[in-house]
Structure 1
Amino acid sequence: MGLWQWVLDNWALVWTYLYVGIDVVLRLISLVVVPRNRRPGSALAWLLAIMVLPIVGFPLFLLLGRSQLPKRRLAKQKAVNRLLRVRAHEIPDSELDEDAPSWLQSAVQLNRELGAFPLTGNNSAELEIDYETSIARMAEDIRTARESVHVLFYIMGLDEVTEDFFEALAERADAGVTVRVLYDHWGAVSHRAVYRAMREKLDAHGIQHAPMMPIRLFRDGAFQRPDLRNHRKMVIVDGEIGWMGSQNLIAAHYDKPANIRRGLHWQETMARFRGPIVSELNLLFASDWYYESDEMLDEQTLVRPSPDTSGTYECQLVPSGPGFVEENNLLLFNQLFYSATRRIVAVSPYFVPDESMLSALITAARRGVEVELFVSEIGDQFLVFHAQRSYYSTLLDAGVKIWLYRAPTILHAKHVTIDDSVSVIGSSNMDMRSFLLQMECSLMVGGTDFMEKMREVEHTYRSRSRQLTREEWESRPRTMQVIDNLCRLASSVV
Structure 2
Amino acid sequence: MLTTSYTIISWLLVFSYWFLIVGITFRILIKRRSVPFAMTWLLIIYILPLVGIIAYLSLGELHLGKCRSERVRSMWPSMAIWLKNLHSIQHLCSTKNSDIAQPLFQLCENRQGISGITGNQLQLLTNSNVTLRTVVRDVQQACHNIEMVFYIWQPGGQADEVAEALIAAAQRGVRCRLLLDSAGSVEFFRTEWPGRMRRAGIDVVEALPVSLLRIFLRRMDLRQHRKVVLIDNYIAYTGSMNLVDPRFFKPHTKAGQWVDLMARMEGPIATTMGIIYSADWEMETGKRILPPTPDANLTLLKPHNDHTILVIASGPCFPDNMIHQAILTAVFSARKKIIITTPYLIPTDDLLHAICIAAHRGVDVSIIIPRYNDSFLVRWASRAFFSELLEAGVKIYQFEGGLLHSKSILIDGQLSLVGTVNLDMRSLWLNFEITIVIDHHEFGSKLARIHNHYIAQSCLVDARCWLQRAYWQRIIERLFYFFSPLL
| TM, length-normalised to structure 1 | 0.91
1: CA distance between counterparts of 2:287 and 2:207?
Answer: 14
Q: Deviations over 1:323-378 (max 9, x none)?
A: 23411000000001111111111111111111111111111000101111011101
* Aligned CA-pair RMSD: 2.4
Q: Note if 1:351 corresponds to 2:372.
A: no
1:164 aligned partner: 161
SS at 2:219's partner residue? coil
Q: Note if 1:329 corresponds to 2:326.
A: no
Match of 1:154 among 130, 151, 173: 151
With over 3 angstroms needed to count, the CA separation of the structure-2 counterparts of 1:470 and 1:459, relative to structure 1, is same
1: CA distance between counterparts of 2:79 and 2:5?
Answer: 66
CA contact (8 A) 1:157 1:195 kept: no
1: CA distance between counterparts of 2:29 and 2:17?
Answer: 19
Name stretches of at least 5 consecutive residues in structure 2 with no aligned partner. Answer: none
Q: Deviations over 1:193-250 (max 9, x none)?
A: x75233133123121111112235676x971010111100011111111111010001
C-alpha deviation, 1:56, in angstroms:
1.6
2:93 aligned partner: 94
C-alpha deviation, 1:483, in angstroms:
1.3
With over 3 angstroms needed to count, the CA separation of the structure-2 counterparts of 1:59 and 1:373, relative to structure 1, is same
Match of 2:472 among 455, 466, 479: 479
Which residue type is aligned with residue 148 of structure 2?
V
Q: Note if 1:244 corresponds to 2:243.
A: no
C-alpha deviation, 1:36, in angstroms:
2.1
CA contact (8 A) 1:23 1:54 kept: no
CA contact (8 A) 2:255 2:372 kept: no
1:449 aligned partner: 442
CA contact (8 A) 1:131 1:267 kept: yes
SS at 1:260's partner residue? coil
Name stretches of at least 5 consecutive residues in structure 1 with no aligned partner. Answer: none
1:53 aligned partner: 48
1: CA distance between counterparts of 2:35 and 2:302?
Answer: 47
Match of 1:214 among 188, 198, 209: 209
2:110 aligned partner: 113
Q: Note if 1:282 corresponds to 2:281.
A: no
Q: Deviations over 1:273-321 (max 9, x none)?
A: 0122111112211221222122212543x64435645312111100101
2:58 aligned partner: 63
Q: Deviations over 1:433-453 (max 9, x none)?
A: 012220001111111111111
CA contact (8 A) 1:156 1:195 kept: no
Match of 2:79 among 59, 84, 94: 84
Which residue type is aligned with residue 95 of structure 1?
S
Aligned length: 479
1:297 aligned partner: 289
2:386 aligned partner: 392
With over 3 angstroms needed to count, the CA separation of the structure-2 counterparts of 1:47 and 1:146, relative to structure 1, is same
2:359 aligned partner: 365
CA contact (8 A) 1:166 1:201 kept: no
2: CA distance between counterparts of 1:264 and 1:492?
Answer: 27
2: CA distance between counterparts of 1:241 and 1:462?
Answer: 31
Which residue type is aligned with residue 73 of structure 1?
R
Correspondence 1:39-50 to 2 at 5 A: 39-50=34-45
1: CA distance between counterparts of 2:122 and 2:105?
Answer: 19
2:134 aligned partner: 137
SS at 2:29's partner residue? coil
2: CA distance between counterparts of 1:82 and 1:272?
Answer: 30
2:2 aligned partner: 3
Q: Note if 1:201 corresponds to 2:193.
A: no
Q: Post-superposition, which runs of at least 4 consecutive aligned residues in structure 1 deviate over 4 A?
A: 4-7, 17-23, 216-219
2: CA distance between counterparts of 1:161 and 1:445?
Answer: 29
Q: Percent identity?
A: 26
2:217 aligned partner: 223
